[in-house]
Chain A
């Protein structure tokens, strides 16, 4: 495996479900990010982890809960989501101190 891998690629969940998105990077990077991409809106930064420590939470609702057990893995735990949370969720990684991201392929989330 190379690059940044996200699973699942597609997810449909009800508003009462709990699910998790997974991201794994094989690039030796030490910074990881979650972004949300909705139709006709810019990519929205959600969370930043540097050296597995959360350094930014961009006013994200508590129904989104990130977890970064090590520099290679990042999770986004989801619970009691709303239909407006339906979007493409992108994980990215980079080296701390450098801004060139590598994105994963994303998880297309639909909340019903």
Chain B
């Protein structure tokens, strides 16, 4: 079983729609959850992080976390063609104390395409 699992897609949505990206993780003790966006040929950039169960909103982005189900999602409202990218889910492990705190495990990413 993969530690962090994402549907590789591609996920295609029309402009203005809501894009829903999903991620599951195997380590029940994981504490911190991140969404990165990576444009083709570029490096990943952090767009959202969430630590507590529930929703966290930032502009058009909402991260949702359900630790009981080991599930984290990213919703993008009013999707734009500029949102077309690969979205990476990342998780810190439960043994995150001590000197390796901060280590992230990534999923393989979901390719999102927003078409006009």
Contacts and interface: CB of A to CB of B under 8 A. Distances in A.
A and B: partners? yes
Interface of A: 31, 33, 40-43, 45, 48, 50, 53, 55-56, 90, 94-106
A104 B101 CA distance: 20
23 contacts: A31-B102, A33-B103, A40-B8, A42-B2, A42-B106, A42-B108, A43-B44, A43-B90, A43-B106, A50-B99, A56-B103, A94-B102, A95-B102, A97-B101, A97-B102, A99-B32, A99-B49, A99-B92, A100-B34, A100-B46, A100-B49, A101-B44, A103-B43
A100 B36 CA distance: 10
Interface string B1-29: 01010001000000000000000000000
Nearest to A102: B46
Q: Is the interface of B mostly helix, strand, loop or mixed?
A: loop
A104 B4 contact: no
Given A50-B99, A90-B43, A101 B104 contact: yes
Contacts of A97: 101-102
A101 B35 CA distance: 11
Nearest to A104: B43
A55 B99 contact: yes
Contacts of B2: 42
Interface residues of B, number: 26
Given A42-B106, A43-B44, A106-B43, 7 more contacts: A42-B109, A43-B90, A56-B103, A90-B43, A99-B32, A99-B49, A100-B49
Contact of B100 (A41, A56, A104): A56
B105 interface: yes
A50 B105 CA distance: 17
A33 B102 CA distance: 10
Contacts of A33: 103
Nearest to B3: A42
A55 B46 contact: no
A103 B44 contact: yes
The 8 closest A-B pairs by CB, nearest first: A43-B106, A103-B43, A55-B99, A42-B108, A42-B106, A99-B102, A50-B99, A99-B32
